[in-house]
């Protein structure tokens, strides 16, 4: 017997379907591949062999990343919407509209009785797709598989900008800060995804029942379908439920009547493994972050040895006074408490979890606890707050002074390097660039709604592959051929990442490419530099993004200049605020 096999490898998941000669599904699987595509695909083949023996298969591949497998392993390829259409014709002839939501793409197919299907796909933006939902789940602190459980009957729907995950993060964070019920926020996310898909793909085309929903998000988040039905003004009775909606394209590829590869399952596995071992001459490769292991080790050792902010514990501090600096951001709170010699006595960094007042209270209580444990008493003689929550925190805690973020960051940077000419502060979702001439601020550039040049997407991408932020940063530093992912908005990089995967880029190469993208987006897209000499020779970097050593190194490679970074880049706003508290207090 020859089994029909369809393999669908997308940007985030791999799916497979195997049918027998009677058209019965005998094996199927759905897994996240975390860029380890060959390993996951070969695990499918191993399970098929265990279940069906060394069987003969007639194979076809589909999916955005499946194209690379097709090219290298010489397996016939079919476009995924064509494959999905084939399954509809074969097994669900009554369907008139197909809605397919994937990890980073969305599709709608309108079937007509008298002409070819009308196929609509999203472009290179992943807004409103499965990846978008993943990002919102992380922000809410809810496992993706549990999102569905939080949706309550008759929820309040809030406005969320689903066009881009970065814009949506601000909306969702504001809802969390306002203590909106999580069930309402999840429902609002689902509503936003439905409206984004409809507005993008269903324009000038009526949604005709019956409708089928397919793809991972619909398979594992049943409530999402309800929000689509509301947006479409349809009833549950208008829906045709696929037996396995997560493998529709893989099933269609298996059932395609076209030229296919007939081979044993063992031979198919060898083809894929050998294709992985084939050397591919990749295009658009960037310089290595480090030319050799020795250079990397020397650089990292130097960075570890240089400490620009002196630290002492409360027990070892010999002064009697201290100064408090608080940076109350939209998502995180940072506190730095310094002594009379500007040494750092205490530091605190925490997510607000929707309540910045509690975050500050917890941070200050932590300092009090450390003092008590050390048997010390210190007098707080000055305090300054900066950031998003400046007015709220100042009023609630009786803080002496408030200062804009730019001044706080400049003050800290000037302390690190009095000859400073340029300060670059990159946070998770925002960016500040400060130009200094003759010791004075001459120009300030801020990003607005766009996250280009920001660092949260690097951490999010690393987490999606199963790496912590430090692990992903360390991996980037070892890359041999960093990918050039361009200087467009970070959400538009998905297609570049897919292309790199097709060219067999390693995870390290992608990690390094993302670090380069942070810097290139910042310098060329947001700041629009044409001459990097504008930065001067004394550059200081700050912000949580620079805890990632590969981003700091990428800036050095791009500019050809050495940059200064403390070991507490994420706390420099708070440290600058503490320095300002000292200055203002001593000036009185």
- What is residue 492's predicted lDDT score, i.e. its pLDDT? 53
The predicted-structure confidence for 145-167, as pLDDT tens digits, reads as follows 889 889 988 999 998 876 665 56
Q: In sequence order, which residues have a C-beta less than 8 Å from that of residue 154 and are 6 or more positions away?
A: none
- What is residue 348's predicted lDDT score, i.e. its pLDDT? 97
Residues of the chain with pLDDT under 70: 123-128, 162-167, 204, 278-283, 304-306, 354, 428-429, 447-457, 460, 464, 487-495, 498-499, 502, 588
Nearest to 24, CA basis, from 6, 3, 45: 3
Nearest to 220, CA basis, from 101, 106, 303: 101
Residue 104's region, left for phi above 0, alpha for psi from -120 to 50, else beta, is alpha
DSSP string, 525-585: IIS--S-GGGG-S-EEEESGGGGSHHHHHHHHHHHTS-EE--S-GGGHHHHHHHHHHHHHH
Nearest to 158, CA basis, from 185, 130, 136, 118: 185
The helix/strand/coil state of 134 is: helix
- What is residue 530's predicted lDDT score, i.e. its pLDDT? 78
Residue 245's region, left for phi above 0, alpha for psi from -120 to 50, else beta, is alpha
25-54: burial string, b at 16+ Cβ within 10 Å, e else: eebbbbebbebbbbebbbbbbeebbeebee
Q: What is the dihedral of CA 6, 9, 14, 20, to 10 degrees?
A: 0
The helix/strand/coil state of 337 is: strand
Q: In this structure, are residues 33 and 272 in contact, taking their beta carbons and an 8 Å threshold?
A: no
Q: In this structure, are residues 358 and 389 in contact, taking their beta carbons and an 8 Å threshold?
A: no
- What is residue 263's predicted lDDT score, i.e. its pLDDT? 95
Nearest to 38, CA basis, from 275, 249, 254: 275
Residue 336 DSSP symbol:
E
- What is residue 237's predicted lDDT score, i.e. its pLDDT? 93
CA distances from 583 to 280, 323, 360, 440, 587 (A): 59, 10, 22, 17, 6
- What is residue 200's predicted lDDT score, i.e. its pLDDT? 81
**Within 10 Å of residue 80's Cβ, how many Cβ atoms?**
27
Domain 321-402 of CATH type 3.40.640.10: no
Pair of tokens at residue 509: 């190469």
Beta bridge partners of 423: 434, 540
| Cβ burial, residue 173 (10 Å; 0-12/13-18/19+) | middle
The predicted-structure confidence for 84-111, as pLDDT tens digits, reads as follows 998 998 889 889 999 988 877 788 889 8
Q: In this structure, are residues 431 and 528 in contact, taking their beta carbons and an 8 Å threshold?
A: no
- What is residue 502's predicted lDDT score, i.e. its pLDDT? 65
| Cβ burial, residue 76 (10 Å; 0-12/13-18/19+) | middle
Pair of tokens at residue 274: 């050998």
User: CA-based angle 479:554:535, to the nearest 5?
Assistant: 165
Pair of tokens at residue 66: 């499946």
User: CA-based angle 286:452:491, to the nearest 5?
Assistant: 85
Q: In this structure, are residues 193 and 227 in contact, taking their beta carbons and an 8 Å threshold?
A: yes
Helices and strands (DSSP H and E) totals, the chain: 21, 19
Strand order in the sheet with 563-564: 440-446, 431-437, 422-426, 539-542, 563-564
Q: Which fold, 93-241?
A: Nucleotidyltransferase; domain 5 (3.30.420)
Residues carrying CATH 3.30.420.40, the chain: 1-80+247-278, 93-241, 293-306+416-569, 321-402
- What is residue 503's predicted lDDT score, i.e. its pLDDT? 72
The helix/strand/coil state of 504 is: coil
What angle in degrees, to the nearest 10, is found between the helix axes of 165-177 and 182-201?
150
- What is residue 275's predicted lDDT score, i.e. its pLDDT? 84
Specify the pTM. 0.68
First to last CA, the chain: 91
The CATH architecture assigned to 1-80+247-278 reads 2-Layer Sandwich (3.30)
Q: Which fold, 293-306+416-569?
A: Nucleotidyltransferase; domain 5 (3.30.420)
- What is residue 62's predicted lDDT score, i.e. its pLDDT? 95
Nearest to 426, CA basis, from 310, 301, 565, 298: 565
Q: In this structure, are residues 386 and 403 in contact, taking their beta carbons and an 8 Å threshold?
A: yes
The whole-angstrom distance between residue 293's C-alpha and the CA centroid of its chain comes to: 28
């Amino acid at each position: 017997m020859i089994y029909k096999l369809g393999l669908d490898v997308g940007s985030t998941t791999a799916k497979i379907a195997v049918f027998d000669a009677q058209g019965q599904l005998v094996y199927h699987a759905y897994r996240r591949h975390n860029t380890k595509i060959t390993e996951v695909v070969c695990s499918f083949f191993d399970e098929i062999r265990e279940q069906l023996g060394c069987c003969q298969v007639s194979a076809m591949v589909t999916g955005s990343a499946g194209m690379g497998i097709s090219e290298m392993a010489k397996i016939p390829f079919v476009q995924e919407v064509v494959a999905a259409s084939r399954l509809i014709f074969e097994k669900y002839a009554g369907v008139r509209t197909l809605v397919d939501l994937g990890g980073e793409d969305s599709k709608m197919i309108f079937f007509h009785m008298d002409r070819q299907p009308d196929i609509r796909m999203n472009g290179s933006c992943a807004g409103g797709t499965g990846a978008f939902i993943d990002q919102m789940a992380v922000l809410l602190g809810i496992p993706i598989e549990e999102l569905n459980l939080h949706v309550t009957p008759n929820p309040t729907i809030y406005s969320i900008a689903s066009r881009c995950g970065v814009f949506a993060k601000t909306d969702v964070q504001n809802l969390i800060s306002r203590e909106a019920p999580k069930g309402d926020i999840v429902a609002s996310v689902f509503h936003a995804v439905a409206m984004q898909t409809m507005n993008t793909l269903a324009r000038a085309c009526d949604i005709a029942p019956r409708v089928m929903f397919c793809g991972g998000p619909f398979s594992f988040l049943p409530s999402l379908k309800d929000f689509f039905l509301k947006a479409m003004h349809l009833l549950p009775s208008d829906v045709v439920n696929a037996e396995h909606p997560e493998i529709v394209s893989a099933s269609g590829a298996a059932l395609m009547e076209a030229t296919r590869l007939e081979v044993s399952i063992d031979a198919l596995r060898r083809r894929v493994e050998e294709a992985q071992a084939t050397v591919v001459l990749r295009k658009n490769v960037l310089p290595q972050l480090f030319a050799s292991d020795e250079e990397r080790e020397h650089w990292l050792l130097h960075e570890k040895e240089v400490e620009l902010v002196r630290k002492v514990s409360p027990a070892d501090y010999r002064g009697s006074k201290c100064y408090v600096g608080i940076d109350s951001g939209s998502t995180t709170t940072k506190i730095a408490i310094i002594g009379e010699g500007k040494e750092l006595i205490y530091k605190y960094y925490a997510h607000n979890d929707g309540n910045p007042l509690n975050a500050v209270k917890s941070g200050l209580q932590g300092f009090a606890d450390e003092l008590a444990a050390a048997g010390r008493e210190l007098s707080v003689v000055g305090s300054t707050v900066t950031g998003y929550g400046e007015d709220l925190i100042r009023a609630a805690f009786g803080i002496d002074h408030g200062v804009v973020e730019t001044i706080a960051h400049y003050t800290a940077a000037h302390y690190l390097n009095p000859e400073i000419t340029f300060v670059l502060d990159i946070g998770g979702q925002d960016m500040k660039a400060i130009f200094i001439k003759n010791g004075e601020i001459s120009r300030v550039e801020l990003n607005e709604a766009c996250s280009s040049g920001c660092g949260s997407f690097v951490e999010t991408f690393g987490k999606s592959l199963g790496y912590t932020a430090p692990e992903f940063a360390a991996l980037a530093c070892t890359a041999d051929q960093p990918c050039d992912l361009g200087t467009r908005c970070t959400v538009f990089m998905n297609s570049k990442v897919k292309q790199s995967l097709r060219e067999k880029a390693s995870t390290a190469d992608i990690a390094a490419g993302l670090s380069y993208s942070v810097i290139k987006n910042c310098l060329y897209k947001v700041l629009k530099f044409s001459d990097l000499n504008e930065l001067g020779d004394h550059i200081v970097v700050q912000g949580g993004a620079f805890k990632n050593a590969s981003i700091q190194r990428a800036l050095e490679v791009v500019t050809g200049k050495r940059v200064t970074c403390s070991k507490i880049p994420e706390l420099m706003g708070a440290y600058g605020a503490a320095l300002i508290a000292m200055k203002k207090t001593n000036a009185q």
